[in-house]
Structure 1
């Protein structure tokens, strides 16, 4: 099955879909072909500063089956998408850059030795265990280095105004993981290890065939798929990591893994919280017990506690560690507000000075003059993977958009004129329009209405100065136009793949005024600043970050659909200018 997944990648990045939709494509030079499909239908030159982006090169598999190494394949073209506005000729010479930013999403910094992990349900939920999960911090630092080295939008040359990380910054919502995440983005040295200081204590040396045991010859399911033995890897993964920190100020958005146990269960369940810092780790229950726990995860904490109590397989004794304690949303905010974690700023990374007391995880911030970001908290305190917005937050978003709009549509479609300058808005959340459908009431505020993605889409269509909604969660690259009742009322939804599952992307977004009644959003994907291939056993920081990408590509649970198509990669997204 793993080989079939690899072959499924072929053609996913081709430009056939773009041609069928009549969507323009421009890139470098002549028509060519990569192992991923057709590329570069050249009608214009690449931007002068494309180095370090997927306009220049893309991680591409070598060969067609088995465990595959990666190499630098041809870059992807920029696709012009005119579903919301016509692309007018000559705009390249008229453009003015308004803003430039980078979206990081779903980095999932993982403490792979945490006792409260459910790796054993991987046969039923592939994200429960990843063969590369000990290397998330090395991968994140390499991504930070890439953002710093690129430094500016490739199409405009405008230095990055901001970096926004759209949730699932941690995986197990542990204080230890949060500290590693903050140090990676702000700069400094840390040790990505919990429990015993001198050894790894997790499923990857459990001897179970269910997991990749890199330091053993056990014929686990990963080695049966071609995974190598790499003696010394687990120890190397736990050595100190040094990050330069971002050169650009950055803002934080909540994800479900930053709010719920395993991204699924509500916080504050005493027996589960105790398991975090305890010394017993369930590693390899029977298949029946694993299935029972997996099914219980869909029902809630009571069902999970009952399923765990029914496990008869003896747990592994590990070294207890208080740094694994789960944080609350208020503690998450407080850590960002701590002056020790300011880094390149701003203080709090978007969270208001009193947010640690109020628990309000949403806010607005200036990206650039005249361009404002709205950071939403789409997590649901009731738990479960998908999200929604509480009524107070939903009404706050509406008021923020009204206050920044000179002209908007009321709920009946009538134009409201306010006579003030339009602010351009970009909205950021973890969840997408289709995954914001968890309307279970907040246990702490059970009478507050919850609003889903369809309601938010309808709200945003009332405001011509809403340009885009940028999000993560799905681990997919997907860009969706949301046309409105009139041309002025459309906006783009920009969903970017994770940095834990292949293809491990982040995304640059540049906002430009074409001086012809239209705006363009340029979206350009970037990969971490690590070699596409390194020698197995190269335990340097770049060698481990390279292995992180390679293992994620070969993960037997990899979903090739996450890559998206050419129209979801490097794009120019047209829309009417609300200022014209």
Structure 2
């Protein structure tokens, strides 16, 4: 995608209906592989374990079911118009040794410490919600996603893939858990939260609100601004090659059954989990009434589109005054839809209580990282055991007052420092002095959050005015003080990117692993495997995975599996994205990351 302005273009792409500016920091500058090398053969496993994984068809289903992107990846065929998905070759493993030297003998000595999966930015969405702002598409074609109506089927297919993975490709160890690093839902509504929890824990989902027998969103509105899959309207998407698929909308609101994850899963909050649309004022009376009501705006004057896009660009409208003015000013233009109380906005207490509901326990644990103690003060951060000698820390980086950027408050930053110290027998204080803690267990530490470091700022949080906020640079500085921090794993950017955070003392360096979303191209998740090389180094293997849906779509197949395939193909044909993609076979795609941001072995000095 040479020539794309990722910072601006992707931000506008995510303005749609509350997917607001999740990619603000997508183009942050990261060091690239100063010493890393492509090493296709560097996929050995634990001592006595398997070597590189090979395609393993399960239950007769087509790839990528049960495979990883080491084996095969989705590629677009053709060069113009609507481009179909076809299976392509896998991506190689890249050894990244910026933080320590890679020693060849490690391949014969290593043992597995942990294996798990990261999902991020599922954005499970009620696409008929009145609070969605699809009308922003009038200012930018990429500000609305044609695939969104199929997001539940797509998320279920990702769950199926995790269940089918078997052992990790480098250790043979099956994943022990899944961590979902935020933006689990899109509009911050209770019905979306119920759908997300059911996707993850298992059960039947009817992805429809309002009229129980009909779709009432923009895709049958008669406005050429939106893709109308069911009819022959010559909308702007069909003019660029998007297909007509009769029955699409009826299929999109049919019940889908999720098998639920077969392994425990944990949850980290994102800005869309805490805020309406990921950036609007929480629990605002006007917005709360509007989202459950019977009126919805499908289009507004261009001047209103420009005004709202401007404040979304800056994030400087904490009271959502511009949007509320637009809703008032255009009330006569709104169309009648079916009111639905299930759309009510979730409070932080609602969000926590829903996770603690035994009905959504699935494979566990009950609460998925949260406990009854979190309801006191509505804290959304915690630590948990990953494996013997490995600890996970989930932090809450959201602004509760209404902003898409992230930060940590002083109270949580101090909690994070105490938690890191509890698992460290020797570390450094803020002034660089050595601190010895004989009670520390020296566990390897993995930190999880929604926001990545460049999207964390110091702006005040109007919901917590008595507390100083801390940005990504301060979090990096804190983590660099603890030699047993292995990685900071996050999402938010909708881009695959991995960066080393080096320190003058090599053992105090760590990796930041930023993973793309599952609603936008390239719809990835990550399988991560931590190993001890028994030579003074650790390796963290990162392997991208796609959903279980077959690559080849069939417009006549509107089953749940067929919809999941179409979900991927539509995302790959997003306006302003497909046209800028490289020719088939070129793996250097910006949002998917470079080769060193995909399937990697990340080396670091052991503490």
- The TM-score normalised by the length of structure 2 is 0.88
How far 1:358 sits from its partner (Å)? 2.3
> Quick check: 500-509 or 430-439, which moved more?
430-439
> Quick check: 299-308 or 161-170, which moved more?
299-308
> Quick check: 471-480 or 20-29, which moved more?
20-29
* Structure 2 equivalent of residue 37 of structure 1: none
How far 1:122 sits from its partner (Å)? 2.5
Q: Which runs of 5+ in 1 are unaligned?
A: 9-16, 30-44
Distance 1:190 1:3, change over 3 A: farther
* Structure 2 equivalent of residue 379 of structure 1: 398
Q: Distance in 2 between matches of 1:392 and 1:20?
A: 36
Within the candidate set 92, 97, 107, 2:112 is matched to 97
Q: Distance in 1 between matches of 2:103 and 2:138?
A: 51
Asked if the contact 1:388/1:436 (under 8 Å) is kept, the reply is yes
Structure 1 residue matching 2:353: 3-state secondary structure: helix
* Structure 1 equivalent of residue 490 of structure 2: 471
How far 1:312 sits from its partner (Å)? 6.1
Q: Distance in 1 between matches of 2:4 and 2:552?
A: 22
* Structure 2 equivalent of residue 54 of structure 1: 69
* Structure 2 equivalent of residue 201 of structure 1: 216
* Structure 2 equivalent of residue 488 of structure 1: 507
* Structure 2 equivalent of residue 14 of structure 1: none
Distance 1:575 1:28, change over 3 A: closer
Q: Distance in 1 between matches of 2:142 and 2:442?
A: 43
* Structure 1 equivalent of residue 600 of structure 2: 571
Q: Distance in 1 between matches of 2:553 and 2:540?
A: 35
Q: Distance in 1 between matches of 2:141 and 2:421?
A: 43
How far 1:567 sits from its partner (Å)? 0.3
Asked if the contact 1:523/1:572 (under 8 Å) is kept, the reply is yes
1:485-538 Cα distance to aligned partner (Å, 9 max, x none): 211111000000000001000001111000000000000000000011121121
Distance 1:125 1:351, change over 3 A: farther
* Structure 2 equivalent of residue 344 of structure 1: 363
Within the candidate set 264, 275, 286, 2:301 is matched to 286
* Structure 1 equivalent of residue 83 of structure 2: 68
How far 1:303 sits from its partner (Å)? 2.6
Q: Does 1:327 align with 2:346?
A: yes
Within the candidate set 505, 513, 516, 2:535 is matched to 516
Q: Distance in 1 between matches of 2:420 and 2:232?
A: 59
Q: Distance in 1 between matches of 2:41 and 2:344?
A: 51
How far 1:174 sits from its partner (Å)? 0.9
Q: Does 1:433 align with 2:453?
A: yes
How far 1:18 sits from its partner (Å)? 12
What root-mean-square deviation, in Å, do the aligned CA atoms of Structure 1 and Structure 2 show? 2.2
Q: Distance in 2 between matches of 1:127 and 1:111?
A: 19
Structure 1 residue matching 2:278: 3-state secondary structure: coil
Q: Distance in 2 between matches of 1:356 and 1:220?
A: 48
Asked if the contact 1:390/1:450 (under 8 Å) is kept, the reply is yes
Structure 1 residue matching 2:78: 3-state secondary structure: coil
Distance 1:170 1:413, change over 3 A: same
* Structure 1 equivalent of residue 24 of structure 2: none
Q: Distance in 1 between matches of 2:447 and 2:31?
A: 26
Q: Distance in 2 between matches of 1:415 and 1:242?
A: 54
Asked if the contact 2:69/2:546 (under 8 Å) is kept, the reply is yes
Alignment of structure 1 residues 98-497 onto 2, 5 Å: 98-124=113-139, 128-297=143-312, 298=315, 299-300=317-318, 301-311=320-330, 314-419=333-438, 420-443=440-463, 445-497=464-516
Structure 1 residue matching 2:566: 3-state secondary structure: helix
Distance 1:541 1:319, change over 3 A: same
Distance 1:4 1:433, change over 3 A: closer
* Structure 2 equivalent of residue 40 of structure 1: none
* Structure 2 equivalent of residue 36 of structure 1: none
Asked if the contact 2:206/2:254 (under 8 Å) is kept, the reply is yes
Asked if the contact 2:396/2:450 (under 8 Å) is kept, the reply is yes
* Structure 1 equivalent of residue 36 of structure 2: 23
Structure 2 residue matching 1:393: 3-state secondary structure: helix
- The TM-score normalised by the length of structure 1 is 0.92
How far 1:160 sits from its partner (Å)? 1.1
1:343-382 Cα distance to aligned partner (Å, 9 max, x none): 1000100012221332000000111111111001100012
Distance 1:200 1:278, change over 3 A: same
Structure 2 residue matching 1:522: 3-state secondary structure: strand
1:42-72 Cα distance to aligned partner (Å, 9 max, x none): xxx9613565100010000101222100111
Q: Distance in 2 between matches of 1:457 and 1:19?
A: 18
How far 1:414 sits from its partner (Å)? 2.4
Distance 1:28 1:407, change over 3 A: closer
Distance 1:433 1:4, change over 3 A: closer
Distance 1:303 1:97, change over 3 A: same
Q: Distance in 1 between matches of 2:192 and 2:51?
A: 39
Structure 2 residue matching 1:185: 3-state secondary structure: helix
How far 1:176 sits from its partner (Å)? 0.8
